Structure 1
Amino acid sequence: METHVLTFTINKSFAEWVATYDASKPLQAAAGITSLYRGVSKEDPTKVCAVMQAEPGIMEAFMSDHAELVASSGHVLESTVSQVFI
């Protein structure tokens, strides 16, 4: 199991982003992803952190397969910094 810590910029409000993120939880679960945390920076409302767990390769496949949905949430894909912990 890998723990993914993603930080990225959003171009919509956190409330708008989180509505899409939370609505995608059934898709995440079907893919084998467990969402552990999502939050917004105290200092910068455009900076978000999401922490999820999945088996190797699952997170990358999900992000690729659902890039349009992820981008529609306000997630600026090219701003994503991903750290993986085992």
Structure 2
Amino acid sequence: METTIWTFKLSVPFSEWAKVYDSDDVNQMHASVGIKSLFRGVSKEDPSKVCAIQQAPIGVAQKVFEENKDMIRGAGHIIESTIITAYTEQ
């Protein structure tokens, strides 16, 4: 398993982005490939900055991200601002 920490900026309010991230469609897509969302939140200092933490089989979360950039961008995620950090238990 791999834990992935995503930080990125939004072009929409956090509540608008969260509605998409928390939607049944996204939850079903994540569940179908083994992605578990552990946390998603907004920076206390910068309301346009988000952190999301997921666990999934190695490489799966980043593959889903690469394959769904248009949908992700449509939710207000500024793709170019994304910083991805992945950790494994070894």
Residue correspondences, number: 86
Matched residue SS, 2:17: helix
5+ residue gaps, structure 1: none
Cα offset for 1:31? 1.6
Given the two structures, how large is their TM-score scaled by the length of structure 1? 0.96
Percent identical among aligned pairs is 41
Cα offset for 1:57? 1.5
Matched residue SS, 1:60: helix
Name the aligned partner's letter for residue 31 of structure 2: A
4+ aligned runs moved over 2 Å, structure 1:
none
Cα offset for 1:47? 0.2
5+ residue gaps, structure 2: none
RMSD: 0.7
More strand by share: 2
Given the two structures, how large is their TM-score scaled by the length of structure 2? 0.92
